[in-house]
Structure 1
């Protein structure tokens, strides 16, 4: 027999609540809906099943034997569906004891460790799988369901905001980086046109600073001589330290390399800022693991503001 499409889980929920309480008013109060909504649900369910479920005795609605039969199967089918949804979420890795987090390399110095420490306090049994990569790679993995959340630069990403939620963490300025031995005067702003004869190293396409690097030199009106492209920011800064070339990097790297790398503020035409954020699927906003990550992200953002960053 074909099941009527109007027999919904919501109607079954109201029906089971009524069968338990035996009173429309108490059912409405328990479910937070109106008496009319309860009555309508019971009446239309009776129509959809196509047999009498209740009789009226005065102002009371009394279940017939058919209603008790339907109750038995309703409980069975809703329990089975609940288990099915739970198993489905387990298969998708949602709300379980493991979380797959993606991040930019540069955020592993401070931001990611602080977020992870906070999450471990909130959810001590949570295990975290950490994946590092470029903006482009991380966003692709999130879209394909291989990651639960990512920490990337919004400035350099094309994100479908109807599908994804983005929680900003902080903004970061971009600087010209050179080895300390170069002796640059960091008290002045860097006009990139003055560095036309210098060699440069760069991140590969798809990384957070790649687009800004290209745009800055487009404004400067020349193509820099790039002697090497690498796939992580630490390798790039090692090349700067060794005197292989100059580069552009975000200010968050300064504290780690301040003894070996000079940072110069860019002159006004080339100045740019990255907005770093946590990104995850909107339809997973109630996942306990993501709620914990979002809460830690908001706390981290407030701490940076308080500290004057």
Structure 2
């Protein structure tokens, strides 16, 4: 049985459709269907049955799903451990991150690590929060630098930095002169926010709902610098972490603290049932310590 078939099976089971699973795996739907037919033939049972909206697991599929969830991470862990015995002494580490390492000074920490650990072969990718969580679940990255605010018990994590969320508006906005702002006064504002599934947007949306209204958010973007540009042009207002506002160096926008503060924590996360190997542990510890030391120097 091929490992790629296990991964394909788990992806279909998680998404409930061959179409979405094929997109996540970057293969054609026909190729994915062929893999599942081969897997079912090898096992001698049907794993999926069709539904109105896609597919669902058969009883045999549920039993096999439990096995696959154990087998795939065990295989990945075994491969990672065996890398320690390679003659070229190159240890692979796949790290995913939100596109804000420069703003928080984390890219400097990464560089310092690479200089000191040339035997670690790092593959670094930047994606959205949703995409990185998906990659963690599918064992496509070893760990991810993401927002930890809404993570569930499926993940373990190490926090790196906590940042205050601030109301962002143009200096021409009548609210720009306030020193603090009550979230209830933002009921009629047009918000330009990060993508809908980002922790920042979800935290803000929950705070607004607790205050008795649902915010108008007609525009979303995956990059905070594009959100700030839209605010600069008077297209609306936003809510962003303080550090992302100050590092943008946009003199025509202001960040105003909320009367009842909201905070977001950035850090490393990984699957709880897939403990970090020694290389990954050392990487996380180095970045956390280096960032802490840099923050103390700045203070």
Map of 2:266 onto structure 1: 276
Aligned with residue 160 of structure 1, among 154, 161, 181 = 154
1-structure distance, mates of 2:143, 2:80:
21
Q: Which secondary structure state, in structure 1, belongs to the residue aligned with residue 234 of structure 2?
A: coil
Q: Does 1:110 align with 2:104?
A: yes
Q: For residues 186 and 139 of structure 1, do their structure 2 counterparts lie closer, same or farther at Cα, with a shift above 3 Å needed?
A: farther
| Cα distance per residue 1:30-87 (max 9 Å; x no partner) | xxxxxxxxxxxxxxxxxxxxxxxxxxxxxxxxxxxxxxxxxxxxxxxxxxxxxxx568
2-structure distance, mates of 1:239, 1:89:
49
Map of 1:26 onto structure 2: none
1-structure distance, mates of 2:225, 2:135:
22
2-structure distance, mates of 1:158, 1:136:
13
Q: Does the CA-based 8 Å contact 2:90-2:121 persist in structure 1?
A: no
Aligned residue runs from structure 1 range 84-163, under 5 A:
89-90=82-83, 96-161=90-155
Aligned residue runs from structure 1 range 216-235, under 5 A:
216-235=207-226
Q: Does the CA-based 8 Å contact 2:165-2:241 persist in structure 1?
A: yes
Map of 1:207 onto structure 2: 198
1-structure distance, mates of 2:296, 2:83:
37
Q: Does 1:267 align with 2:254?
A: no
Q: For residues 155 and 88 of structure 1, do their structure 2 counterparts lie closer, same or farther at Cα, with a shift above 3 Å needed?
A: closer
2-structure distance, mates of 1:198, 1:281:
38
| Cα distance per residue 1:246-283 (max 9 Å; x no partner) | 11101111222342321000012xx2111211123565
**Bigger Rg over Cα:** 1
1-structure distance, mates of 2:254, 2:294:
27
Q: For residues 159 and 181 of structure 1, do their structure 2 counterparts lie closer, same or farther at Cα, with a shift above 3 Å needed?
A: farther
Compute the displacement of 1:289 (Å).
Answer: 4.4
Compute the displacement of 1:305 (Å).
Answer: 4.5
Structure 2 residue runs of 5 or longer lacking an equivalent are 1-77
Compute the displacement of 1:232 (Å).
Answer: 2.4
CA root-mean-square deviation = 2.8
Compute the displacement of 1:287 (Å).
Answer: 2.6
- The alignment's TM-score, normalised by the length of structure 1, stands at 0.62
Aligned residue runs from structure 1 range 1-309, under 5 A:
89-90=82-83, 96-161=90-155, 164=156, 166-182=157-173, 184-258=175-249, 259-268=251-260, 271-281=261-271, 283-305=274-296, 307-308=298-299
1-structure distance, mates of 2:80, 2:140:
18
Q: Which moved more, 1:203-212 or 1:244-253?
A: 203-212
Q: Does the CA-based 8 Å contact 1:284-1:290 persist in structure 2?
A: no
Map of 2:31 onto structure 1: none
Aligned length: 217
Structure 1 residue runs of 5 or longer lacking an equivalent are 1-84
Compute the displacement of 1:239 (Å).
Answer: 1.4
2-structure distance, mates of 1:244, 1:157:
32
Q: Does the CA-based 8 Å contact 1:122-1:292 persist in structure 2?
A: no
